[in-house]
Structure 1
């Protein structure tokens, strides 16, 4: 069954654990794996993420994490994940919440400490987490969550937007895990920035759904001002789509190269489009979608929170740092 067909069959009310339940349904339907980035079908991967995002941002947050985890495991040569398992990738590193890794005599490791920003912690069965060994090196560890030594809290997530992802704090107390790849390998691999660009496909899918609501409104009513807003939304979306398509082509043509600048450009372009879409759709549609349409209200609350995975001016500064050393002719048509 196709992804679109399965999405169409899902109930539209997430309830308390909707995204986690939906993720399980996608995995059970054989849709838990996507084409790996940089293997010739990056755009197909991103189209799937955009489709899930258009359905629900809480779901795509978990789905992107799950499919990213499988891509990481494959890239770093790890063992295949257990059948039917669902995964998160928890790699935030605030200084007040870092996991400590301790080596075990049997070659495994244990994890201790607090991990923040753990999306879907109450729903997924496994996670890839970053931790620090005794030599001060960042390591990636695969850990089963349904075991002694792992406690999912209700702390650290007070958001109204993206509330359904429950990106709470998780406490580890000598929890057994398995090292994945070499120390530092998580951020040094080509897939790190390839996956970072894929986040923008999620933003794009949600913005596309908002644009479709405005297009439908203009189809039903001839309102010149609403149509002007639709023109602006169309411009923003086609520019963002072009940026994503160009990035996907580059990644597939250069699968082992550093994709940081390509990813940063795609993310910045899509973020700008999201801001344009939200601005124009809100002015054209008024209060109705925010107040009387449950799915649209959830999307309009979720998207501004989700897009804050961008670090705004800090990301643009980093992008500019790469641009200034590229030389002339960088923008030749």
Structure 2
């Protein structure tokens, strides 16, 4: 399936009339359970596309108090490598009425966008996108665009991946593209929901890796090999630990929706990534080459998951977490942090 067919299928099968639960509103765990389930059923590509759509809806609700029509499909593009920047220019005369109507956007600021946006996952499969850009003074802004509107060219430039290839994450070129800016300077980054969404990625990783764990469990059940059983024991401990922290972090976010969730989110991401890497490594030892070459679902996971997991920044994230938990450095607080 192409990205649009994949996203439509997931939404049709997994999202009911009540919609996708928003984070920090009392249903964060339900949201993450949905993300994990989709990751398990539709793999890394499917959950990558759906999570971006769900994240965009959460951002629109938080920043603009908007719920777009259910038929729209969304992406969020915030990568800003040095060679791909988008500039926005206020343009009160730009006709954005069609864009406002199609998104139910009431208070957006009309602008024109010019530049190249990189790493645009699912660009060929969505109707609209939220993207970061910069105004003439260098301030970071958040803009809404219509992918089928004027001034938009979707390319496959820069996307040579084998893993996650089906997300079609090329570059998007913008030339005098009408857009609506929402929120103020750093509206994307400086909001409680930024780290709510960052933590939610961990639920996607968790769900996506479960079919590999299940394949190991089935192998051990059939063959009773002690070495495979040892790998399964390690996988079980890693996944149970990750699941417990997912539940704990979801509860923390719902109890502290306006607080800075950097530490809980980063802790969760590092723990779940480590669990996923444990599963990938140990499942490969148990399953061998056969299933990874002759089982399409498992083969796709081994190609896709290493790329998907690189939404983590590995040791840089661990270092950022370590520096954050080191402050303040008073001994009683350090001890209290880890008490049961």
The aligned counterpart of 1:51 is: 37
Q: Check if 1:242 corresponds to 2:249.
A: no
Find the aligned partners of 1:233 and 1:30 in 2 and give their Cα distance: 27
Count residues in correspondence: 317
Find the aligned partners of 1:182 and 1:209 in 2 and give their Cα distance: 42
Q: Check if 1:25 corresponds to 2:9.
A: yes
The aligned counterpart of 1:155 is: 157
Find the aligned partners of 1:235 and 1:196 in 2 and give their Cα distance: 24
Give TM-score, length-normalised by structure 2: 0.90
Kept after mapping to 2: 8 A contact 1:90/1:127: yes
The aligned counterpart of 1:230 is: 232
Q: Check if 1:85 corresponds to 2:92.
A: no
Task: Quote how far apart the aligned CAs of 1:222 are.
Answer: 1.7
Find the partner of 2:282 among 266, 280, 290: 280
Q: Check if 1:35 corresponds to 2:21.
A: yes
Find the aligned partners of 2:176 and 2:252 in 1 and give their Cα distance: 42
Secondary structure of the structure 2 residue equivalent to 1:217: helix
Find the partner of 1:68 among 55, 59, 65: 55
Find the partner of 1:98 among 65, 72, 85: 85
The aligned counterpart of 2:171 is: 169
Task: Quote how far apart the aligned CAs of 1:30 are.
Answer: 7.5
Kept after mapping to 1: 8 A contact 2:156/2:169: no
The aligned counterpart of 1:317 is: 319
**1:255-309 CA distance string (max 9 Å, x none):** 0000000000000000110111111110011011210001110011111110000
Secondary structure of the structure 2 residue equivalent to 1:268: helix
Kept after mapping to 2: 8 A contact 1:28/1:84: no
Find the aligned partners of 1:272 and 1:127 in 2 and give their Cα distance: 31
Aligned CA-pair RMSD: 1.3
Q: Check if 1:332 corresponds to 2:339.
A: yes
- The more displaced of 188-197 and 100-109 is 100-109
Find the aligned partners of 1:67 and 1:257 in 2 and give their Cα distance: 21
Task: Quote how far apart the aligned CAs of 1:96 are.
Answer: 1.4
Task: Quote how far apart the aligned CAs of 1:28 are.
Answer: 4.4
Secondary structure of the structure 1 residue equivalent to 2:125: coil
Find the aligned partners of 1:70 and 1:83 in 2 and give their Cα distance: 10
Task: Quote how far apart the aligned CAs of 1:91 are.
Answer: 0.4
Give TM-score, length-normalised by structure 1: 0.92
Find the aligned partners of 2:11 and 2:234 in 1 and give their Cα distance: 37
Q: Check if 1:308 corresponds to 2:310.
A: yes
Find the aligned partners of 1:142 and 1:283 in 2 and give their Cα distance: 46
Find the partner of 1:213 among 211, 215, 221: 215
Kept after mapping to 2: 8 A contact 1:78/1:181: no
Kept after mapping to 1: 8 A contact 2:202/2:269: yes
**1:115-136 CA distance string (max 9 Å, x none):** 0010001111110000000111
Point out 4+ residue stretches in structure 1 off by more than 3 angstroms.
26-30
The aligned counterpart of 2:296 is: 294
